[in-house]
Amino acid sequence: MEIKVVENAKDIECDVLVVNKFEDELTSNPLVNKYAPETFKGKAGETFVIHTRGELPSMYVLAVGLGKEQDLNNTVIRENIAKAVKKCAELKAKTIALDIDAKFPFGVQSVIGAEIANYHFDKYKTKKEHRISELFISKVSDDVKVGEYLAEGMKLARNLANEPAAFANPAKLAEIAQGFEGVETTIYDEAQIREMGMGAYLAVAQGSVNPPKFIHIKYIPQNPKRRVAIVGKGLCFDSGGLDIKPAASMLNMKDDMSGAACVLGIMKVISKLQPSVEVHAIIAACENMPSGSAYKPGDILTAKNGKTIEVDNTDAEGRLTLADALCYACELNVDDVIDIATLTGACMVALGSAASGIMGNNDEFVNELIKIGADAGEKFWQLPMWQEYRDNLKSDVADMRNTGARYGGASSAGMFLKEFVSGDVRWAHLDVAGTAFLDKPQHEFSKGATGIGVRTILNYLLSY
């Protein structure tokens, strides 16, 4: 979708002019005010459409309710502009103009909502979905370009997580990372990974014919105010390994690299947004497959920091790849580390698809990310990191096991990861197992990948 900022959207010749209605108030459009039924109050989510019959430059006017003006926030704008764009698509519109009459800064969220609604993963369909091609928007107080770049990052993340594993394999992720502008990308192959001592990561990768790729992308601005590492779980496909998953549980395991997809989405646009932060993006990309060379339950692995891990279950593989990636990140002398991963089914059981789990070693940092996420439209709920969860990981033959007790699995996984965070680094772990991929439409999103984390992490970086 091409976004064009104009002096006055209501004067643009287009298929649909979208205006807003606050609850029990008139709109800025006289036709809507004249013909809308009394039942159209302007509550959030309500819509009313009318053919202009040549009285306006647009063919239709669509009014969308935004509720009471004093209750207006980012989420109300984003979700209801998305709803309006979906309605425009039903009208087979190609060009739409957005004329929002509100004091609240709405440009960024309007663009993000419109782009989310206009997204379809139809690459492999012979009949493509209908899309809006142009969006005109009246001059706004906030920077519409920020919304465009955030949406661009989300689109790449969603595309990659929606792609079949045959396409989005470790080599393809590495290839994509090497194509970004304004950043420096280094790809390490299997031999180099072994030289770095990443025994946990390599064990997971050894069962697949597709070799692992360790990806490090650097964005280094002049005079950075902070140094941050973002680590994305990059399991391009997770069969469960020798502890193989049931068929139904394996079906969407192409999305087990949603953390990596998020990180790639961020790094695609970071040089355009130009935050005053040095950013190191890290992905330990591989596949977890069963074969004669696969790692086995009972194996003892040595991570990059020298800690040993007894393999209790080969399907608890993501934390093994993250362990070595976190060690690498901490060695970069960064201030903050954020890892994002579709890590545990336990987090899905606890929070469903309504929110992601978050844990960390610094409550101030965790709360900062929760607030930024809420403003951006991504909910995070802090889960505990108590010693009892670490006790569940005790091993008779190694420093720890890679799984704990049956219950509290999300927190046990967080405590496992904490073992590989060193120094004075502020660290936050985002468990997005329930939010990365939807099995049915939810809010402004269609079924499939959501690009979770792109908005929160980018807005965190932009806060500097």
Q: Would you say 427 and 361 are in contact if contact means Cβ atoms under 8 Å apart?
A: yes
Class at the top of the CATH hierarchy for domain 152-462: alpha beta
Alpha-carbon distance of 330 to 426, in angstroms, equals: 10
Alpha-carbon distance of 47 to 36, in angstroms, equals: 10
Amino acid of residue 242? L
Indicate whether 21 pLDDT > 80.
Answer: yes
Q: Fill in the DSSP letter of residue 132.
A: -
Please, which pLDDT band fits residue 405 given cuts at 50, 70 and 90? confident
- In the predicted model, what is the mean pLDDT of residues 453-461? 98
* 437 three-state secondary structure: strand
Please, which pLDDT band fits residue 139 given cuts at 50, 70 and 90? confident
Q: What is the CATH number of domain 2-142?
A: 3.40.220.10
Q: What is the pLDDT of residue 371?
A: 98
Q: What is the pLDDT of residue 406?
A: 86
Share of the chain above pLDDT 90, in %: 97
Indicate whether 141 pLDDT > 80.
Answer: no
What are the pLDDT digits (tens) for 154-209? 999 999 999 999 999 999 999 999 999 999 999 999 999 999 999 999 999 999 99
Which tokens in the block code for residue 7?
A: 């002096």
Q: What is the pLDDT of residue 140?
A: 81
Q: Would you say 272 and 147 are in contact if contact means Cβ atoms under 8 Å apart?
A: no
What are the pLDDT digits (tens) for 214-248? 999 999 999 999 999 999 999 999 999 999 999 99
The tokens 């004093």 sit on which residue?
70
Nearest to 112 by CA among 149, 138, 159, 139: 149
Estimate to the nearest angstrom the gap between the alpha carbon of 343 and the chain centroid. 14
Alpha-carbon distance of 78 to 376, in angstroms, equals: 10
Please, which pLDDT band fits residue 18 given cuts at 50, 70 and 90? very high
Q: What is the pLDDT of residue 462?
A: 97
Sequence-ordered list of residues with C-beta below 8 angstroms from that of 95, at least 6 positions apart, any chain: 12, 14, 15, 16, 132, 133, 134, 135, 136
Q: What is the pLDDT of residue 423?
A: 85
Alpha-carbon distance of 244 to 251, in angstroms, equals: 12
Task: Annotate 72-88 with DSSP letters as a single string.
Answer: --HHHHHHHHHHHHHHH
> C-alpha distances in angstroms, 99 versus 13, 63, 82, 102, 314?
13, 10, 14, 9, 54
Residue 186 dihedral angles phi and psi, to the nearest 5°: -120, 135
Please, which pLDDT band fits residue 142 given cuts at 50, 70 and 90? confident
Q: Would you say 6 and 52 are in contact if contact means Cβ atoms under 8 Å apart?
A: no
Amino acid of residue 398? A
Mind telling me the catalytic residues?
Answer: 245, 319
The tokens 């680094």 sit on which residue?
425
Measured from the Cβ of residue 401, the count of other Cβ atoms closer than 10 Å reads 20
* 248 three-state secondary structure: helix
Please, which pLDDT band fits residue 108 given cuts at 50, 70 and 90? very high
Please, which pLDDT band fits residue 123 given cuts at 50, 70 and 90? very high
The tokens 């287009």 sit on which residue?
14
Q: What is the pLDDT of residue 193?
A: 98
Measured from the Cβ of residue 274, the count of other Cβ atoms closer than 10 Å reads 11
Q: Would you say 451 and 340 are in contact if contact means Cβ atoms under 8 Å apart?
A: no
**Which residue ranges make up each domain of the chain?**
2-142, 152-462
Share of the chain above pLDDT 70, in %: 100
Average pLDDT value for the chain: 97
Alpha-carbon distance of 83 to 444, in angstroms, equals: 7
